[in-house]
């Protein structure tokens, strides 16, 4: 059986995944102008197995998901013809695979994206991320991210996994994030996040009037039907999620009641505040994914901002805390609702 594969020294893998729900999963990142074609005559022993499984076994240098993409895109031929992922192989077929460069091959390129640095020393950097900026490259956003900006303004962070990013905010959520500048600092910050000792407070404007305060202890998992969404779940795959909230003020947007709440995260699941508040019947103003799409005219994004961040400095051991005022568009929104400036 002849197998012609790309040499190992031409293959570059992204750094190891941090054990954090907030960080996106990476994949292979293949650099180089030419990826060699692979040709395999399938052995009889694979008879009855589907095509993608066969190739993931015989060509282990590539992930099964990557191979499935190539099959769907027509870059895999079986006896000279395009095939399907689930096609059953009988043995003896000649399979040709033309590897394709990953869409994310420039994901870690430095880009001149402005950074609003609130605090910085030799170990950490605290950034006020604007709404509309994606934190980390991923599907549909392989450039123009906070990570690209960090690598431009702090080139040395190319030596730290994920450019020092240890947690993230949604694209349309603004506010404070901490970035580690050394591997030691990153490891310690990850430990603090896992130990739930990092203090994170968010301001959110929600539809309706929740109780004066409360705790939402509801595990979360990927939505079973809509993969873009998260959901409160009792599935065995669900992860613990705890949000504490306090109602700060109430008002009206036209004839609709709204409330300004402070949310304190004990855990940091994807979309946690948005999902938890919506699960109580109080979705965020402007959140069309989990909330009231017909009321999107009031705000162009979810009304959510990470206002306070507290942690133990990973080197000095000192307790540190930062806070920022509400963004101008958020201030205008609560003003429209007849609430005092916060």
Structural domains in the chain, sorted by start: 8-97 (3.10.290.10), 106-187 (3.30.2350.10), 196-342 (3.30.2350.10)
Residues in the chain: 342
Q: pTM for the whole thing?
A: 0.71
Cross-strand bridge partners of residue 216 = 243
Active site (annotated) includes residue 170 = yes
Q: What is the structure's pLDDT at 103?
A: 63
Q: How many CB atoms lie within 10 A of CB 255?
A: 5
Closest among 207, 292, 304, 299 to 251, alpha carbons compared: 207
Q: Is 62 exposed, middle or buried (0-12, 13-18, 19+ CB in 10 A)?
A: buried
Q: Report the largest interatomic distance among the alpha carbons of the chain, rounded to a whole angstrom.
A: 75
Catalytic residue among 170, 172, 217, 287: 170
Closest among 116, 111, 110 to 176, alpha carbons compared: 116
Residue whose entry in the numeric block shows the structure tokens 């910050």:
189
d(CA 309, CA 195): 15
Do 160 and 181 meet the contact criterion of CB atoms below 8 Å apart?
Answer: yes
Q: Taking the chain, what is the end-to-end CA distance rounded to the nearest angstrom?
A: 70
Q: What is the pLDDT along the chain (342 residues), one digit of tens a residue?
A: 443 333 323 222 222 223 333 332 222 332 333 478 999 999 999 999 999 999 999 988 888 988 999 999 999 999 999 999 999 999 999 999 998 876 666 678 899 999 999 999 999 999 999 999 999 887 778 889 999 999 999 999 999 989 999 999 999 999 999 999 999 999 999 999 999 999 999 999 999 999 999 999 999 999 988 988 999 999 999 999 999 999 999 999 999 999 999 999 999 999 999 999 999 999 999 999 999 888 888 999 999 999 999 999 999 999 999 999 999 999 999 999 999 887
């Amino acid at each position: 059986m002849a197998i012609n594969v790309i040499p190992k020294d031409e293959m570059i893998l992204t750094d190891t995944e941090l054990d954090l729900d907030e960080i996106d999963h990476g994949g292979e990142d293949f650099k180089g102008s030419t990826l060699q074609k692979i040709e395999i005559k399938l052995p009889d022993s694979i008879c009855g197995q589907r095509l993608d499984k066969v190739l993931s076994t015989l060509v282990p240098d590539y992930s099964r998901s990557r191979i499935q993409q190539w099959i769907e895109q027509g870059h895999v031929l079986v006896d000279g013809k395009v095939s399907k992922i689930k096609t059953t192989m009988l043995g003896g077929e000649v399979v040709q695979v033309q590897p394709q460069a990953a869409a994310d091959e420039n994901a870690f390129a430095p880009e001149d994206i402005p950074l609003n640095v609130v605090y910085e020393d030799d170990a950490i950097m605290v950034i006020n991320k604007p709404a509309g900026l994606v934190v980390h490259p991923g599907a549909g956003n392989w450039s123009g991210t906070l990570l690209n900006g960090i690598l431009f303004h702090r080139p040395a962070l190319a030596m730290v996994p994920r450019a020092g990013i240890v947690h993230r905010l949604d694209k349309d959520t603004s506010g404070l994030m901490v970035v580690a500048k050394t591997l030691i600092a990153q490891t310690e910050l990850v430990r603090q996040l896992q130990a739930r000792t990092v203090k994170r407070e968010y301001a959110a404007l929600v539809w309706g009037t929740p109780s004066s305060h409360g705790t939402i202890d509801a595990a979360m998992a990927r939505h079973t039907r809509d993969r873009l969404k998260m959901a409160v779940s009792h599935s065995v795959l669900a992860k613990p999620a705890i949000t504490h909230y306090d109602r700060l003020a109430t008002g009206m947007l036209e004839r609709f009641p709204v409330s300004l709440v402070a949310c304190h995260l004990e855990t940091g699941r994807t979309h946690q505040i948005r999902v938890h508040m919506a699960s109580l019947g109080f979705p965020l103003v402007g959140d069309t994914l989990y909330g009231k799409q017909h009321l999107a005219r009031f705000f162009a994004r979810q009304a959510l901002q990470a206002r306070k961040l507290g942690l133990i400095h990973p080197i000095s051991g000192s307790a540190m805390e930062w806070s920022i005022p509400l963004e101008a568009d958020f201030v205008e929104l609560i003003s429209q609702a007849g609430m005092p400036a916060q």
